[in-house]
Amino acid sequence: MLEVRGLSFSYGDFSIEKVTFEVGRGEVVILLGPNGSGKTTMLKAIYGLLKPKEKCVFIDGKDFHGLPIRERARLAGYVPQSHTPPFPYTVLEVVVTGLASQLGPFESPRNEHYEKALEKLRLLGLEDFKDRPYTQLSGGQMQLVLIARALIQEPRVLLLDEPTAHLDFKNQVKVLGIVRKLAQEGISAIITLHDPNLASIYSDRIALVKEGKIMAIGRPHEVLREKTLRDVYGVPVCVIEFNGFRLILPRTEVIL
Ligand SMILES: Nc1ncnc2c1ncn2[C@@H]1O[C@H](COP(=O)(O)OP(=O)(O)OP(=O)(O)O)[C@@H](O)[C@H]1O
Ligand SMILES: [Mg+2]
């Protein structure tokens, strides 16, 4: 469904090089890797916020970056790692801005659009916050609002940059559960996470990212191996099996 073919981008002293992978319809691929390894750069370059030199992102065979912005917004929704709105919009207004590309240039959002926004806020348990200024929310609440803003577009692919970073455990489970449910409906996702255990549980495949490259990509049990993780993170870990999932723990010598 989504194909990344030889994606390269450079900031100058940091580059991502020839990143190639595919994401199937309804597949969840999680990018896992150390701070500064290039996960955000990859997501931004895939979405087109950073401009790779060559055509390298295809959705259903079409050059994604070459499509008009409206069509791109229908295909892919992006949730940044952090975001500061320029004005103290209400929560409901922030979610409605997710529909901006679907409205005409002089068209204002109508009741049906606000209803839709409310539905997404309800899904994320935030309906009571709808009239609050977005800037007065906690970090986790802001993150949930941004997820609602991406969901309202009803895109075919979600690109989520650390969507669980500020969330409590219940909300982490909720957000990743929503992603899995959407996957069952055929929505694909590329997500960056830091928790290898959540990646193991919620992904179809994991891509391990190091120094701008994908070091390994595969099903969690193929990728989450002691040696591979030690190579990527430089920390000794042990891998255990629980209920069919592969889980990662730091080795005792790191704890003590
Ligand atoms: N706007 C920028 N200009 C120059 N260099 C940048 C810029 N943004 C990021 N970098 C550099 O690119 C590298 C990769 O950054 P990136 O944000 O993609 O990492 P990441 O894997 O998402 O890290 P984290 O897990 O901390 O979010 C880092 O070395 C960073 O310093
Ligand atoms: Mg990042």
Rounded Cα gap, residues 69 and 64, in angstroms: 10
* Residue to mutate, 32, 40, 214, ligand 1, most ligand atoms under 8 Å from C-beta: 40
Q: How far is the CA of 15 from the centre of ligand 2 (A)?
A: 14
How confident is the model at residue 95, as a pLDDT? 94
What CATH number corresponds to the domain at position 154?
3.40.50.300
CB 250 near ligand 1, within 6 Å: no
Per residue in 64-123, pLDDT tens? 999 998 899 899 999 998 777 767 899 999 999 999 888 877 888 889 999 999 999 999
Q: How many domains does the chain have?
A: 1
Q: Quick one: DSSP state of residue 108?
A: P
* Farthest-apart Cα atoms in the chain, separation: 62
Per residue in 44-54, pLDDT tens? 999 999 998 88
Q: Which atom of ligand 1 is closest in space to residue 44's alpha carbon?
A: 18
Q: Which atom of ligand 1 is closest in space to residue 81's alpha carbon?
A: 27
Distance in angstroms between the alpha carbons of the first and the last residue of the chain: 46
Domain extent, residue 10, equals: 2-255
Q: How far is the CA of 71 from the centre of ligand 2 (A)?
A: 26
Q: Which atom of ligand 1 is closest in space to residue 212's alpha carbon?
A: 14
